[in-house]
Amino acid sequence: MARRFLTLYGLLFFVFIYAPILLVVVYSFNANTVNMMIWSGFTFDWYRQIFGMETQVTESAIYVDSTDQLYAAIRTSLTVALSTSAFSTICGTALALAVARYRFRLAGFYRTLLMVPMIMPDIVLGIALLIFFITIGMNLSLMSIIIGQSTFLISYVFVTVSARLAEFDTSVEEASADLGATPAQTFRKVTLPGIAPGILGGWLLSFIISMDDLVITYFIAGTGNTTLPIHIWGMLRRGIKPEINAIATLMLLFTLVIAAIGLYFRSRRQK
């Protein structure tokens, strides 16, 4: 009895989590131009529309002139995500190494301080960053987005790399030094490969979060720097049209691919 109940609970749980996502994926292939909730046949039209290819759908069913803007938004997002994730990965890794390896006063305090940005409400962080940039007289630009996102993405990298460092056996570093390697050689040949899965994980995580961030970025983007989430948000304000489903599905696919790459490298290293 209890077992049945658990099975049912588990089932409902997954439906609860995945049904909305599944719905979006299904709708993205629905040919019905008027009401996406009614299935009227399979089509690739919404995808074709995104990429500016010819479709049979009428003007009213689509967002006008969105393709170029969408491309621009994707380009902006990728630029931001690549820079932010690279910067955050380097800083977060360095911080994790420093906190794990050096004994200094208030180490625990710094550790906590480094985690706080993760639990900080996005709105608060967004407003704070906006006010900060205005105060120091910095123009809102790609740069401000990169700096702003890095302030909390460093925390994510810090946590992932720290977790890996905690289980990293430092005796191999001693073995390396014992065999004549300088500290720099030891770092390159032993430490770095040892914590690489953590660094890779932190990098992918910060990349995905950066691609996805709306609230904080919205505050600090200024005008003319439209990232993909901001662009989609803008489209939604002009009504929900089926194209959105196709974009969402593509983003989902993109994220899954990145996660799969991460898992692949992780499992390969553990072998």
Residue 128 vs 163, nearer CB to other proteins: 163
Residue 186 vs 210, nearer CB to other proteins: 186
**Residue keyed to tokens 């049209």:** 241
Residue 112 vs 171, nearer CB to other proteins: 171
Query: Is there a contact between 141 and 217 (Cβ–Cβ < 8 Å)?
Result: no
Residue 187 vs 218, nearer CB to other proteins: 187
Q: How far is the CB of 64 from other proteins (least distance, A)?
A: 54
Q: How far is the CB of 186 from other proteins (least distance, A)?
A: 8
In this structure, what token pair is assigned to residue 149?
A: 């996102």
- DSSP assignment string, 194-242: HHHHHHHHHHHHHHHHHHH--HHHHHH--SS---HHHHHHHHHHT---T
- Bridge partners, 42 (sequence order): 30
Gap between the Cα atoms of 66 and 63, Å rounded: 6
Q: How far is the CB of 262 from other proteins (least distance, A)?
A: 18
Residue 71 vs 168, nearer CB to other proteins: 168
Q: How far is the CB of 109 from other proteins (least distance, A)?
A: 18
Q: How far is the CB of 183 from other proteins (least distance, A)?
A: 8
Residue 13 vs 264, nearer CB to other proteins: 264
Gap between the Cα atoms of 266 and 92, Å rounded: 19
For CA atoms 95, 100, 105, 110, the dihedral sign is positive
Residue 139 vs 270, nearer CB to other proteins: 270
Give the N- to C-terminal CA distance of the chain in Å, as an integer: 41
Q: For the chain, what's the residue count? A: 271
Q: How far is the CB of 265 from other proteins (least distance, A)?
A: 12
Gap between the Cα atoms of 131 and 125, Å rounded: 10
**Residues near other proteins (CB under 8 A):** 169, 171-172, 174-183, 185-186, 189-190, 193-194, 269, 271
Phi (first) and psi of residue 21, to 5 degrees: -65, -45
Helix (H), strand (E) counts: the chain: 12, 0
Phi (first) and psi of residue 35, to 5 degrees: -125, 105
